[in-house]
Chain A
Amino acid sequence: MTIDDSNEEIVNLLKEISGKLDRILMQGTSTKESDEGIFDVLDVMTLLTLPDHLRATATALFELGSATAEDLAEKTHKERAVESNYLNQLVRMGHVVKGRSGRKVYFSIGEGLGK
């Protein structure tokens, strides 16, 4: 084997390793991202992957724009405390944001906590 030949072989091996590393890195980021949709922006496709109870709450929030747990409960015909719990769950997932206006707490669709 000449020096040129072995150099070429080394380069090819390095390319192969680099390609494998790229794929591993890509897989790493994509599994982190799809972590059950957590920290993602709430678009309609993500909405469809939510469990039924959270989807109902989030859908109602899209309709209302900005709303209190009370408003949501009226729309979904559930208890205020139940809606409040679901909304806070959606806040922790990064799908919904919470803000205060006077003594009232308003929820609205967030922009996600991811990139």
Chain B
Amino acid sequence: MGISIAVHSSKGGSGKTSFSINLAFAYTSAGKSVCLLDADFKAPSLFNYMFPDSDRWLNDVLDGKCDIMDAIVEVADDTVAPGKLYVGYCNPDIDAVREMSGKDRKWQSKALQNIMGVKKKLFSSGIDVLIIDTGPGVDFTSVNAIAAADYVIMVTKPARSHQKYMEQIIDGIYIPLGKDYGVIMNKCHDNKPIAIPGLVDPDIPVVASIPCLCDIATRSDSEVLTVADPEHPFSKAVFTVVRTIEDCLSNK
């Protein structure tokens, strides 16, 4: 059986999409078959600028109108070796985004059932790791992805606004849904793991901290750090997360 990971945050811009892409490549570099899905239906991540295009959307998969295997495309270049990488996108067209935000609860219930089906289908088709890049905060699209995950990565910033809400999300969503989770402190200042002392509850598992470095932003448009620069602090944090998830899930 494969594992599914949701990458989430309490507020926007913490580094979820950057982390998801690098995580996908950390797994492919270890020879895994990975499926990376953009499930930020309100504000699509649009990471297809670095991957091949697709004309089928996850929106239709959640709607039960399209098979997941038809909605993902293979990224076939040598940066992926020795593993395999498939990507799927949500529809960035404004009409689709508007439609998605008006879905009722009945539809969302079906969507969650369809996501569970997607997981089973991908794993039975040989995918080892499913990574879902979600939107920030609490809405149906992000919480449905969390519900389908075996492990949730909360990417947060050392800012009061991010962390206050993070604690609520952990207590009000992750824990009641019985999720294993870990926190990534991204964009830390002064290279200190937790820049605001005393803010994070000592019970919250901080798996890795990443300094705020301009080259993470500038290089990300043209390369994947876990492939191009495995010794970079960002890459090292990603590999730490891979090991942590493995330990966590193998103990079950």
Partners in one complex: yes
| Residues on A facing B (Cβ under 8 Å) | 40-48, 52, 55-56, 59, 62-63, 65, 109, 111-112
- Expressed in whole angstroms, the Cα–Cα distance for A112 and B104 within the complex equals 13
Q: Decide yes or no: A48 and B109 within 8 Å by CB, A59-B147, A59-B177, A62-B147 being known contacts.
A: no
Chain A residues lying within 8 Å of B202, measured Cβ to Cβ, are none
Whether A59 contacts B178 by the Cβ 8 Å rule is: yes
> B91-99, B110-118, B180-188: which one contacts chain A?
B110-118
> Beyond A47-B147, A62-B113, A62-B116: 9 further Cβ-contacts under 8 Å?
A43-B108, A44-B108, A44-B143, A44-B144, A48-B176, A65-B113, A65-B120, A109-B113, A111-B109
Cα–Cα, bound, A109→B120 (Å): 17
Q: Does B243 contact A (CB under 8 A)?
A: no
Contact (Cβ within 8 A) B117 A65: yes
Which residues of the other chain, A, contact B113 by a CB distance below 8 angstroms?
Answer: 62, 65, 109
- CB pair A48–B117 under 8 Å, yes or no, is no
Distance between B194 CB and nearest chain A CB, rounded to angstroms:
28
4 closest pairs, A vs B, by CB?
A43-B109, A43-B105, A43-B108, A41-B106
Minimum Cβ distance to chain A for residue B123 (Å)? 12
Cα–Cα distance between A45 and B146 once the two chains are bound (Å): 12
Closest to B146 in A: A44
Contact A62 B176 (CB under 8 A): no
Q: Mark B11-30, 1 if CB is under 8 A from A, else 0.
A: 00000000000000000000
B68, chain A: closest CB distance, angstroms: 15
Residue contact B117 to A62, C-beta cutoff 8 Å: no
Cβ–Cβ contact B105 & A111, under 8 A: no
**B interface secondary structure, majority:** helix
Residues of A within 8 Å of B144, CB to CB, are 44
Which among A43, A52, A62 is the interface contact of B140 at CB below 8 angstroms? A43
CB-defined contacts of B197 to chain A, threshold 8 Å: none
* Chain B, residue nearest A40 (CB): B105
Complex: how many Å from CA A52 to CA B113?
Answer: 20
Is B172 an interface position by the 8 A CB rule?
A: yes
Question: Chain B residues near A62 (CB, 8 Å)?
Answer: 112-113, 116, 147
B173 at interface, CB cutoff 8 A: yes
Q: Which of A41, A44, A62, A112 has the most chain B CB atoms closer than 10 A to its own CB?
A: A44
Is there contact, CB below 8 Å, between B178 and A44?
no
Q: Which of A41, A59, A111 has the most CB of B within 10 A?
A: A41
Q: From A40, A43, A59, name the one whose CB has the most chain B CB atoms within 10 angstroms.
A: A43
Contact bitstring B225-244, A, C-beta under 8 A = 1, else 0: 00000000000000000000
- In the assembly, what is the distance between CA of A44 and CA of B172, in Å? 12
* Contacts A44-B140, A62-B116, A65-B116 given; does A109 touch B176 at CB 8 Å: no
* Shortest beta-carbon distance from A95 to chain B in Å: 9
Q: Is the CB–CB distance between B147 and A41 below 8 Å?
A: no
Q: Which parts of B153-188 form the interface with A (CB within 8 Å)?
A: 172-173, 176-178
Least CB separation from B147: chain A residue: A44
**A46 close to B105 (CB less than 8 A):** yes
The distance in angstroms between the C-alpha atoms of A65 and B115, with both chains bound, is 11
Q: Which residues of A have CB within 8 Å of B178?
A: 56, 59
Complex CA–CA separation, A63 to B177 (angstroms): 12
> Do B177 and A109 have beta carbons less than 8 Å apart?
no
Asked if A111 contacts B140 (CB within 8 A), the reply is no
Chain B residue contacts of A109, Cβ below 8 A: 109, 113
